[in-house]
């Protein structure tokens, strides 16, 4: 199957890199987003996302004339839906953006077209939601046009490499649709392209992230047990992982991002009667920010009126993505307790926080006048901080490390008291 023109709906962390990558392969791409700020920013040469190498990739695609930005779809050979699927209310999947995107392309679908859903979705979304909407075109999915599901499986900070090199799963509503999807991704993918049915492909993505979520929940419970038993969970995990069949993940302030913290809920929503383990893991990880706050309170003695500086807001190191970040929940709990919170996030200069929370423009401003400094995100900049530097720039001598980023001896020898998450025998 030949593709001369492809329409990508949703220009976020997945849609924009995908559209730009395809365009740089010489295929005409229409990038579509309903957010006028995103459309205007891209048209004016700006970028609304932080991802290594993305600016260069987008600018090259735009300069080539192969990528154009629009606020509505156009006729094309293939349509890729890459819009967000968050949850709302009682952890239910919000499919409004997927439905709107499908509705938007109905007037443009022609015989022989291909439609691919990339948005992470509950099982049977392609068959039960997208297919009926597209059928409003008067064409039958799987017969008159091809329909498939292909989940993104990339890691923020490495999206551009993994987009090309990772294995790709194509789930068609029939074999012909899967083959058409494989032909599209073969334009730029160097990884193995695996064909299956659409519901299996939907499950694969959810299973991958749920597996990690459950394993992180075990690590977080281990950290709580270590705290109670008076041991160092980081030392215990390192020793346990010497076993050839054991690979315990790392505990921390919680689980964030648009995948691991969200996808398991799609399975719980779809089958609540047979997912007690998944549900419990989610509750464990969602409660971890409160565990962090409890540790801060033990260190500070009193939260109300205490000046606390939080280092990092993103859900993982060295990215600007704050979606579902547990750090935001830590901020919220502290602010509600009357804590005087200052936050420094080097990758995000503007964040909508509570009125009484200060977003510092620099590290020096954040730590200058504070009582407790909390390491929430293992940004390289924070891990490379020297104890002597911090001692010279703040009166604070109380540190809370939630990611095992600072070596205790170095800090204690400089006069700091450091308290680490999951450590019952504090230095």
Known catalytic residues?
205, 259
Please report how the helices 54-64 and 15-23 are oriented relative to each other, as an axis angle in degrees rounded to 10: 50
β-sheet with 307-311: strand ranges across: 358-359, 340-344, 307-311, 372-375, 398-401, 417-420
The residues pairing with 170 across neighbouring beta strands, listed in sequence order, are 195
Within a 13 Å sphere around the CA of 101, how many CA atoms are in the beta-carbon half? 30
Cβ burial 39-64 (10 Å sphere, 16+ → b, else e): bebbeeeeeebbbeebeebbeebbee
Question: For residues 126 and 112, what is the distance between their CA atoms, to the nearest angstrom?
Answer: 18
């Amino acid at each position: 199957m030949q593709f001369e023109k492809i329409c990508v709906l949703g220009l976020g962390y997945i849609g924009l890199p995908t559209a730009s990558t395809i365009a740089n392969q010489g295929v005409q791409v229409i990038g579509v987003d309903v957010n006028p700020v995103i459309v205007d920013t891209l048209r004016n040469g700006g970028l609304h996302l932080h991802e290594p190498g993305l600016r260069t990739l987008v600018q090259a695609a735009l300069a080539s004339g192969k990528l154009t930005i629009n606020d509505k779809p156009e006729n094309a050979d293939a349509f890729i839906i890459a819009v967000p699927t968050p949850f709302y209310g009682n952890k239910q999947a919000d499919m409004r953006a997927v439905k709107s995107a499908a509705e938007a392309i109905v007037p443009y679908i022609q015989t022989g077209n291909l439609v691919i859903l990339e948005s992470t979705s509950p099982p049977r979304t392609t068959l039960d939601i997208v297919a009926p909407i597209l059928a409003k075109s008067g064409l039958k999915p799987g017969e008159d046009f091809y329909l498939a599901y292909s989940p993104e499986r990339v890691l923020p900070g490495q999206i551009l490499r993994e987009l090309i090199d990772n294995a790709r799963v194509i789930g068609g509503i029939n074999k012909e649709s899967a083959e058409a999807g494989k032909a599209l991704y073969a334009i730029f993918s160097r990884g193995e392209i695996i064909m299956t049915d659409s519901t299996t492909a939907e499950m694969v993505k959810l299973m991958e992230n749920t597996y990690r979520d459950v394993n992180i929940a075990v690590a977080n419970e281990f950290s709580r047990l270590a705290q109670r038993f008076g041991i160092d969970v980081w030392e215990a995990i390192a020793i346990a992982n010497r076993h050839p069949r054991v690979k315990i993940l790392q505990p921390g302030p919680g689980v964030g991002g648009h995948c691991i913290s969200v996808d398991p809920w799609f399975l719980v929503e779809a089958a609540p009667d047979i997912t007690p383990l998944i549900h419990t893991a989610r509750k464990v990880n969602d409660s971890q920010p409160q565990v962090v706050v409890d540790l801060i309170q033990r260190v500070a003695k009193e939260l109300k009126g205490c000046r606390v500086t939080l280092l990092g807001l993103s859900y993982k190191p060295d990215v600007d993505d704050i979606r579902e970040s547990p750090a935001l929940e830590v901020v919220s709990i502290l602010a509600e307790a009357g804590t005087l919170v200052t936050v420094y996030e080097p990758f995000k200069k503007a964040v909508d926080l509570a009125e009484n929370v200060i977003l510092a423009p620099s590290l020096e401003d954040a730590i200058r006048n504070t009582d407790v400094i909390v390491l929430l995100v293992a940004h390289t900049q924070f891990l490379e901080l020297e104890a002597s530097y911090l001692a010279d720039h703040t009166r604070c001598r109380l540190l809370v490390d939630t990611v095992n980023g600072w070596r205790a001896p170095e800090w204690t020898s400089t006069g700091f008291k450091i308290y680490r998450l999951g450590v019952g025998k504090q230095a």
